[in-house]
Amino acid sequence: MQNGRAIIRSQRKPHLRVATEADCIYLSKRLRTEDYQEIKAGSGLSPLVSLTLGLHLSDVPLVICNKNNKPVAMLGVVPQGLFGAIWMVGTEDLKKISLSFIKNCKGVCDVLQKDYQLLNNFVDARNTLHINWLKWMGFSFINKHQRYGVERRLFYEFVKI
């Protein structure tokens, strides 16, 4: 307390928190081009609708924030019985906290996976950053879908057991 008032300190390092609808709005306007293209090609939905669905359908939707508490990515797992559909999209600003992200992402993924026999989803073949990250994270690519989604584009199916 200082002069009878509590000093509120903001987070001064990258961190995770539960996502909100305000995060969906903020991120939908700032997604990486590849993430925007993947949403459009796979579902045909707008980024805002896609993020809002992810927010409401995921067990625990999370947002990654930079040191200024600005969202740089959003992720979650949508339950599908014993399996979980893991997803994540981000902004170019995620690269600015890449060291913190890389140090923590495997542990976060392990926590997200604990309630599921496997995690799975599909990734647009054009999204090479995500493909390389998924490989590094230990996901396996099990199928090539030549005409996936509303745009009938090449997508890869991936899993982690």
* Cβ atoms of 119 and 86 closer than 8 Å: yes
Distance CA 113, CA 122 (A): 17
Distance CA 36, CA 104 (A): 24
Whole-number pLDDT of residue 151: 99
Whole-number pLDDT of residue 8: 43
Q: Which amino acid is at 37?
A: Q
* Cβ atoms of 95 and 67 closer than 8 Å: no
Give the residue carrying structure tokens 């060291």: 99
Q: Which amino acid is at 13?
A: K
Whole-number pLDDT of residue 10: 52
Distance CA 150, CA 32 (A): 20
* Cβ atoms of 96 and 65 closer than 8 Å: no
- What domains can be seen in the chain, in order of their start residue? 15-160 (3.40.630.30)
Q: Read off the tokens for 121.
A: 């989803």
In 3-state terms, what secondary structure has residue 55?
helix
Whole-number pLDDT of residue 99: 86
Contacts of 56 (CB under 8 A, 6+ apart): none
Tens-digit pLDDT profile for the chain (161 aa)?
Answer: 444 444 444 558 999 999 999 999 999 999 999 999 999 999 999 999 999 999 999 999 999 999 999 999 999 999 999 999 999 999 999 999 988 898 989 999 999 999 999 999 999 999 999 999 999 999 999 999 999 999 999 999 999 99
User: Hey, which residues does 77 pair with through a beta bridge?
Assistant: 86
